[in-house]
Structure 1
Amino acid sequence: MTEVQRADKFKQHFLMHQRLWCTVLLLLWGALNVLVLTTTVLMDAASFGRPLPIWEPLCWELTSTTAILLLIWAMTIVLPRWIENKPWYQQALLHLLLTIPFSLVHVLTMMALRKLWYWLAGSLYQPFDAGWWYVLFYEFRKDFMSYFLILFVISGYRLMVLRLRGEATYVPTGEKSVPVEESPPQQLLVKKLGKEFLIHTADIEWVEAAGNYANLHVGAAVYPMRITMARLAELLPAPGFIRIHRSTIVSSRAVAHIEPLDTGDHRVTLKDGKVLSLSRRYREHFRDSLAVGS
């Protein structure tokens, strides 16, 4: 087996078992983090002539890392569902606000675990001798940076996965084909795992913005395409594809039902159960497009 074949095999395994790889990589990071920080505390304590029993700094770092790992898992669920489909300025504000519950959950979780550990060890854990507000502020400073570092790593990981999956491009129908402005393309050439596949635009269920890319959702598969949402909305055949949000385009064939919300926006549920947001800005256009397509 050549180096190229081995690399391609590894890439395929990574893409097919992402949950396994994510779990393994996070656990490896957690173990390394606990090891480095625990030994750092022990070395610092020894240098000041106040040696500690190994179990105490191990307890501190292991409980903190455990809480962070649980929060990373929660972020991977919350961010795509409720944050990433909003305009950038709303996302920025929400991320700033989310640092507060992030820090609170981190502190309360690790404190509860530490109290349990100390109790099992026959000792007493009293972290708030300096006062609740002092401890919470002390931890928030670090958690604020941790939140955005985790956010950066998650975004980088997703970008890496998109690049490994490949990119989608429109396939010209011939040398004398009609320009795309007059004739919307009906198929895409998809490069994925070292191979090229043809998918029909009619098979696309919905599209979401992802930085400089648009993610095309076809069943359980996702294909990134380097294009703006505005340009893609012009290219995809109407009225089959409808813009429902600044960051979302949906196929009318994939829509199951629509629900109004108290905010004036609507919730669009697809036939596969996926829930998308229909903003007020695109509501009338959405209804008109459905009427034309019916």
Structure 2
Amino acid sequence: MSQKNDLNWFITHKKRVEVALLALILLVNATANSFVVLMETSSSAMQSWEPWVWEFSSMLALAALLLPLAWWTDRLPLQFRQPGRQLQHHLIGVMVFTATHILLMVGIRQATYHLFDGHYQFDWSFQNLLYELAKDFRIYLLFVALFELYRFVVRRWRGEASQLSNPPDETSSSSRYLQQVLVKMLNQEFLIRLEDVSFIRTAGNYQELYVNGRAYPLRITQTALLQQLDPQRFVKINRSEIINLLLVSEFRRRQGRDAELQLQDGTTLQVHRNYIDTIPESLRVINPAEV
């Protein structure tokens, strides 16, 4: 299988791969910790199932927190700008993460012990809470680092776009607008012209530039990017998508006041009713029949 086929397969199954990897990490860690605790307490009066309940309750609580943590880190990526503000946000994140993890973990343990006609009592002393905070702080930092590393690798594999530090000197009237971006893909670098971008979709802190079915993430807000795009060519059609008007092949009204556009590459995008007026009249009469 070629590298391109590998990438296409990964993009198609990206969510499943991510869930499988996280599940494998959590399962291996909980199983290993259970065996360690079981060996350390083999001579005590503890039931053999209790270490498994402790570790897997912690694992399930952690699993419930990873999706919110991934969302949080996606909107607060690690960077050198405003370190004080980042530190403040992550300290809040750690406190919320620890409190939620403890409450979920204790709830799962109490419910499980009840099934075995037992009673679980969590140690709410300051010393134990400090221990839990230190442990969850390490876990929080570990997954923040893992998420950042994973996103970096994926962006480089898919191809990450960036603006040119020294753009070419254009003499046309449109030179004040963004003309091209540099894409870095593994050990390759190449330019993408904005006129070849069929549409742009917001994805967290990135704007994904779609060219021939491939998405190249550009780290910029939608508002900032719109200020750099030629308004005669690029218009916003809903909260998260911008289209290249010159690559639109068909416009269709839908029931109600919404509509949809079909691009030359076959992609169909929804046009929210609040943005229909941004579509030029010349395009809106391509298919005048209303459904």
- The two structures share one fold, judged by TM-score above 0.5: yes
Question: Does the aligned pair in 1 maintain the 2:161–2:183 contact within 8 Å?
Answer: yes
Report matched runs for 1:38-53 at 5 Å.
38-46=34-42, 49-50=43-44, 52-53=46-47
1:111 aligns to 2:106 (yes or no) = yes
Q: Which amino acid aligns with 2:5?
A: K
Match of 1:66 in 2: 60
> What is the CA–CA distance in structure 2 between the aligned matches of 1:101 and 1:145, rounded to whole Å?
14
Counterparts in 2 of 1:150 and 1:66: CA distance versus 1, 3 Å:
same
Q: Which amino acid aligns with 1:60?
A: W
Q: Which amino acid aligns with 1:137?
A: L
Which structure has more RCO (C-alpha within 8 Å, separation ≥ 6)?
1
Aligned counterpart in structure 2 of residue 218 of structure 1, from 209, 214, 227: 209
- Superposed CA RMSD in Å reads 4.1
Counterparts in 2 of 1:209 and 1:180: CA distance versus 1, 3 Å:
farther
Q: What TM-score does the superposition give when structure 1 sets the normalisation length? A: 0.62
Match of 1:179 in 2: 169
Question: Does the aligned pair in 2 maintain the 1:107–1:136 contact within 8 Å?
Answer: no
1:27 aligns to 2:17 (yes or no) = no
Match of 2:137 in 1: 144
> What is the CA–CA distance in structure 2 between the aligned matches of 1:55 and 1:94, rounded to whole Å?
38
Counterparts in 2 of 1:93 and 1:50: CA distance versus 1, 3 Å:
same
1:156 aligns to 2:149 (yes or no) = yes
Question: Does the aligned pair in 1 maintain the 2:156–2:185 contact within 8 Å?
Answer: no
How far apart are 1:152 and its partner, in Å? Answer: 0.5
Q: Which amino acid aligns with 2:74?
A: P
Question: Does the aligned pair in 1 maintain the 2:157–2:185 contact within 8 Å?
Answer: yes
Q: What TM-score does the superposition give when structure 2 sets the normalisation length? A: 0.63
How far apart are 1:8 and its partner, in Å? Answer: 4.0
> What is the CA–CA distance in structure 2 between the aligned matches of 1:99 and 1:142, rounded to whole Å?
11
Aligned counterpart in structure 1 of residue 88 of structure 2, from 84, 89, 93: 93
How far apart are 1:186 and its partner, in Å? Answer: 3.1
How far apart are 1:124 and its partner, in Å? Answer: 0.7
Q: Which amino acid aligns with 1:218?
A: L
Give the fraction of aligned pairs with identical amino acids, expressed as a percent. 25
SS in 2 for 1:253: strand
Q: Which amino acid aligns with 2:26?
A: G
Counterparts in 2 of 1:169 and 1:84: CA distance versus 1, 3 Å:
closer
Match of 1:125 in 2: 120
Counterparts in 2 of 1:209 and 1:68: CA distance versus 1, 3 Å:
closer
Match of 1:287 in 2: none
Counterparts in 2 of 1:10 and 1:204: CA distance versus 1, 3 Å:
closer
> What is the CA–CA distance in structure 1 between the aligned matches of 2:162 and 2:58, rounded to whole Å?
45
> What is the CA–CA distance in structure 2 between the aligned matches of 1:178 and 1:160, rounded to whole Å?
29
How far apart are 1:133 and its partner, in Å? Answer: 2.9
How far apart are 1:123 and its partner, in Å? Answer: 0.7
Q: Which amino acid aligns with 1:165?
A: R
SS in 1 for 2:235: helix
How far apart are 1:80 and its partner, in Å? Answer: 3.0
Q: Which amino acid aligns with 2:98?
A: S
Structure 1 unmatched ranges of 5 or more: 172-176, 242-250, 257-268, 273-294
Structure 2 unmatched ranges of 5 or more: 243-291
Counterparts in 2 of 1:181 and 1:142: CA distance versus 1, 3 Å:
farther
How far apart are 1:127 and its partner, in Å? Answer: 1.7
Count, aligned residues: 228
1:196-230: CA deviation from partner (whole Å, max 9, x where unpaired) = 895525756478997xxxx44236964146xx97x
1:266-285: CA deviation from partner (whole Å, max 9, x where unpaired) = xxx5568xxxxxxxxxxxxx
SS in 2 for 1:127: coil
